[in-house]
Amino acid sequence: MARVPLVKAAVLGAVILLLVLLVVQPFGWVLFNSLHDDATGAWTLNNYARVVQSAELIEPLVNSLILAAATALIAVGIGVPLAWLVSRTDLPLRRTIRVLTLTAFVTPSFIGATGWILLAAPNSGWLNSAWRWLAGEGAGAPLNIYSMAGAIFVCGIYTVPYSFTMVSSALDEMAVELEDAATTLGCGVLRTMVSITIPLAAPAVIASFILSFIQGLTLFGVPAFLLTPTGIPVVTTKLAEFYQLFPPEIYLAAAYCMPLLLVTGALFWMRRRYLGRKQYVTISGKTRAGRQIRLGGWRWPALFLALLVPLVSVFLPYAALLMVSLTRAWGQGLSWENLSFYWYWWAIFGNSETHTAIVNSLVYSTLGATLCVALGTLVAYIVERRLMVGASLLGAVATVPIVIPGIVLSVGFFAAYTRAPLNLYGTPLLLIAAFAATFLPIAYSHGGSILKGIGPELERAARSLGAGEARTFLSITLPLMGGGLVSGWFLVFIPIIRELSVAVFLITPKTNVMTTLIYNAKDGGNYEAVCAMSVLLLLITLFLVAVARPLAGLTGARRTSRKTATAAGVPS
């Protein structure tokens, strides 16, 4: 009998240790380093004084806030109406628009930026070249992607899917009896939307605005590709600059991370305070599909506007990437003689560095997602089943990375694990751990949502028959969670394989992944190779999404868990 509490204690100890290593220690080292001087190593507040007093350091902060605010406004301003059109109206091609928006969702924004460089660079961009061909050689370039406006545009269009997905999900799952009642009582479409639909969807709109703001604030790839060439700094590119100095100013970089952390933390606190004062509860017996709003003569203009997002985020950049990747030399233009699969052969077979990066991406993403889902699920189980005193504290720690920008967490892992006794720099384990920590909140939240749908009655019955916690979890709970865990694994795997900001400070030539290899190759100006590698990464990601969608249907297992309990003779 002593083995049962021993196993339980060992599992709890392992979970706590992993949370400390993946979350607490990296963040602790960021804070610790920020209070030390780079030259002497002495304790000091001078780093913070430099951040608030130096115009050179304040400018990137201001630029980052401008980029983030504009990105969030674009994402919500376009994503919310688009979600309403798809979920609530008779807009044609609604399913197609959802699929195309998902395609934009899984497209790394820095790859989208590469596509728009090919389209809208002032001198060589194809859209500018087409304009000069139409207006005459003396005409200037109407588009300049190398600008703050260009970065806002790219960040905005690749953040719209966040807002669209969250709000459309809220609208799809919303009980519509109140809307139908308002319509029955004579309320028009606009009044029903303002008085019923918008208040019920407000939490999703606010959450999408905050998430979009954080995306714009913490993105590294788009500013590095579009703003660095013009000398416009933001916080993330300035952090990279600190590491490229000789000697690197690592302690100043740690202090410079804090404004990002304060802003993201304040946004989540404001969201919690705002939504905490409100109740968004719909009392109804069942939810059914809402009555579609007929757009009448506005159907086709609305469809045209709805297709603009996929056009600028998928069709145009994808076409540019594909065409350049199929040319032997981009500068020679499109011709039969210049068409070639050379760069794909080079990427897959002819270049060992690229081949290694592809293998690394798949291996690290697989291991990182597995570790993340395993840890997130165990923490969720401990919290939901209250297996220890202070279990909610473990849940809070698992959620902390959601307010820590990826690049800040990367700085923390660099600080924590590039020194004795755990000098992991240059090892795959460092990247795998950083990936797992970054997306731990997703795995924890997903695991918690599954467990909330699984009644504890079967677990109690198993324990009453003498089964321990470990055996109960493995034989009862885990099988019931199976389908949901598969979809959760893909939910973590896909963002890991496309992640750049977390990896950029931690990779070495031996541990390069696809995203960092594309980032490094872009500086060399070999756009044919960059485009071929980008297309390969997109194909891998889209293939995984196609595989994940059918498997996501397995999450129905959690919906039937209560039926399973009843069939087994346990009251649900």
Mean pLDDT of 438-455: 87
Q: Is 572 inside a domain boundary? A: no
Checking if the pLDDT of 282 tops 60, the result is: no
Residue ranges of E strands in 132-209: none
Can you read off the two tokens belonging to residue 28? 């602790």
Q: pTM of the predicted model, to two decimals? A: 0.88
Q: Is 58 inside a domain boundary? A: yes
- The answer to whether 491 and 446 have CB atoms below 8 angstroms apart is yes
Checking if the pLDDT of 571 tops 50, the result is: no
* Band of residue 563 on the pLDDT scale cut at 50, 70, 90: very low
Domain limits at 111? 54-276+298-326
**SS3 state at 36:** strand
Q: Is 536 inside a domain boundary? A: yes
Checking if the pLDDT of 562 tops 60, the result is: no
Q: How many Å apart are CA 183 and CA 205, to the nearest integer?
A: 23
Q: 465 or 65: which carries more pLDDT confidence?
A: 65
Mean pLDDT of 256-280: 78
Q: How many Å apart are CA 319 and CA 463, to the nearest integer?
A: 58
Mean pLDDT of 179-189: 70
* Band of residue 75 on the pLDDT scale cut at 50, 70, 90: very high
Q: Name residues whose C-beta falls within 8 Å of residue 10's C-beta, 6 or more positions apart in sequence.
A: none
How many C-beta atoms lie closer than 10 Å to residue 285's C-beta? 7
Q: How many Å apart are CA 489 and CA 372, to the nearest integer?
A: 8
What average pLDDT is seen over the chain? 85
Q: 1 or 182: which carries more pLDDT confidence?
A: 182
Q: Is 281 inside a domain boundary? A: no
How many C-beta atoms lie closer than 10 Å to residue 474's C-beta? 12
The answer on 9 and 81 residing in a single domain is: no
pLDDT at position 271 is 78
The answer on 24 and 82 residing in a single domain is: no
Q: Is 332 inside a domain boundary? A: no
Lowest mean pLDDT among 270-284, 336-350, 440-454, 498-512: 270-284
The answer on 421 and 319 residing in a single domain is: no
Mean pLDDT of 92-108: 90
The answer on 258 and 109 residing in a single domain is: yes
pLDDT at position 234 is 96
pLDDT at position 275 is 66
How many C-beta atoms lie closer than 10 Å to residue 66's C-beta? 15
Checking if the pLDDT of 315 tops 90, the result is: yes
Lowest mean pLDDT among 128-137, 312-321, 371-380, 436-445: 128-137
Mean pLDDT of 534-542: 92
Q: 530 or 185: which carries more pLDDT confidence?
A: 530
Q: Is 33 inside a domain boundary? A: no
Mean pLDDT of 51-67: 95
Mean pLDDT of 24-53: 94
Q: How many Å apart are CA 327 and CA 16, to the nearest integer?
A: 52
**What share of the chain in percent tops pLDDT 70?**
90
Q: Of the spans 183-197, 273-287, 462-476, 528-542, which averages the highest pLDDT? A: 528-542
pLDDT at position 243 is 87
**What share of the chain in percent tops pLDDT 90?**
50
Q: Is 236 inside a domain boundary? A: yes
The answer on 21 and 59 residing in a single domain is: no
Q: How many Å apart are CA 433 and CA 24, to the nearest integer?
A: 13
The answer on 322 and 352 residing in a single domain is: no
Distances (CA, A) of 484 to 174, 186, 208, 402: 22, 42, 23, 21
- Intra-chain end-to-end CA distance of the chain, in Å: 29
- The answer to whether 306 and 87 have CB atoms below 8 angstroms apart is no
Dihedrals phi, psi of 209, to nearest 5 degrees = -65, -45
Checking if the pLDDT of 559 tops 70, the result is: no
pLDDT at position 557 is 39
- The answer to whether 214 and 68 have CB atoms below 8 angstroms apart is yes
Checking if the pLDDT of 293 tops 90, the result is: no
pLDDT at position 310 is 94
Per-residue pLDDT tens over the stretch 207-220: 889 989 998 998 99
The answer on 310 and 370 residing in a single domain is: no
Q: Output the domain CATH number for residue 476.
A: 1.10.3720.10
The answer on 87 and 5 residing in a single domain is: no
pLDDT at position 291 is 62
pLDDT at position 268 is 84
pLDDT at position 281 is 47
Q: Is 502 inside a domain boundary? A: yes
Number of domains in the chain: 2
Checking if the pLDDT of 558 tops 70, the result is: no
The answer on 369 and 444 residing in a single domain is: yes
The answer on 489 and 361 residing in a single domain is: yes
Q: How many Å apart are CA 321 and CA 533, to the nearest integer?
A: 10
The answer on 386 and 489 residing in a single domain is: yes
What are the percentages of helix, strand and coil residues in the chain, rounded to 5? 75, 0, 25
* Band of residue 276 on the pLDDT scale cut at 50, 70, 90: low
**SS3 state at 559:** helix
pLDDT at position 560 is 38
pLDDT at position 335 is 76
Checking if the pLDDT of 328 tops 50, the result is: yes
pLDDT at position 373 is 95
pLDDT at position 561 is 37
pLDDT at position 64 is 96
pLDDT at position 31 is 94
* Band of residue 566 on the pLDDT scale cut at 50, 70, 90: very low
| Length of the chain as a residue count | 572
Cis before 421? omega within 30: yes
The answer on 85 and 11 residing in a single domain is: no
Checking if the pLDDT of 554 tops 50, the result is: no
